[in-house]
Amino acid sequence: MAKTHLAGAKSFGCAPDTWQNQFGQGKDGYFGPLSDPVKMAVYESESLTDYFLNGRLLPMVEIGIKRGIYNYNDYEQTEKLAGKLDIFFKPLELSKPARVHGDLWNGNVLWTHWKNQTEAILIDPAAHGGCAEEDLAMLDLFGAPYYNKIIQGYSSINPLFSDFDFRLNLWQLYPISGHAIFFGGDYISQYRSMLNSYLY
């Protein structure tokens, strides 16, 4: 994973060069189960803040509003991150876009044992240009086995910034907002609570 991240991408939010959406939507991406995918337009940016807010969070909240999950106050509260993200992302300002997996929850990590060695195989990517921290935060979100060892191994190749822990829940806002759309319930209040923790 660290080596894939270091391979880089031409911009934040960019799809792989050969990407074509299987639903006939050209380069646009999608989020969610194949039984109910929601369209997520490819949003390319040179700015990490712009990509994360306008290419990820706000479009997801807009979808939630259309589906009756979120309200306009949720949108306005999410917009308030704009004034804070540049500060939160300042340690990352010299980081180049990484080629991220994009949906790296523990169900997309398969463990194999071969020739006395345990290895991880990553499946079902939603690959795009992003921040390396996104994948690691996603692994943490739903509890990946061997998470601490993954972080140690990852850091030996691509060292993490010391304040990664502070941004952990920030990166998790996107997948939690998506889960709120598909599953409702506690995910809605979890999104609001996590968002507020970075606003106040």
Q: What is the pLDDT of residues 150-188, one digit of tens each?
A: 999 999 999 998 899 999 999 999 999 999 999 999 999
- What are the sequence ranges of the domains in the chain? 2-199
pLDDT of residue 109 exceeding 80: yes
pLDDT at 93 over 90: no
**189 CB-side CA count, 13 A:** 2
Q: Quickly count: other Cβ atoms within 10 Å of residue 181's Cβ.
A: 24
Cβ partners under 8 Å of residue 58, min gap 6 = 75, 78, 79
C-beta of residue 148 within 8 angstroms of C-beta of residue 160? no
DSSP count for the chain of H helices, then E strands: 9, 6
**Which two structure tokens, joined as six digits, stand for 34?**
């194949």
Residues of the chain with pLDDT > 70, as a percent, come to 96
pTM, whole model, 2 decimals? 0.91
CATH class label, 2-199: alpha beta
> What confidence tens digit (pLDDT) does each residue in 16-72 have?
887 766 655 566 777 777 787 777 788 999 999 999 999 999 999 999 999 999 999
Task: Give the pair of three-digit tokens for residue 193.
Answer: 């609570």
Binned at pLDDT 50, 70 and 90, residue 108 comes out as very high
For the chain, first and last CA: distance in Å? Answer: 34
Reply yes or no on whether the pLDDT at 141 is more than 70: yes
Sign for the CA dihedral angle at 157, 161, 167, 168 comes to positive
User: Tokens 């409702």 label which residue?
Assistant: 184
**CA–CA distance, 193 with 182 (Å, rounded to integer):** 18
% pLDDT > 90, the chain: 72
65: left (phi over 0), alpha (psi -120 to 50) or beta: alpha
Q: Is 188 helix (H, G, I), strand (E, B) or coil?
A: helix
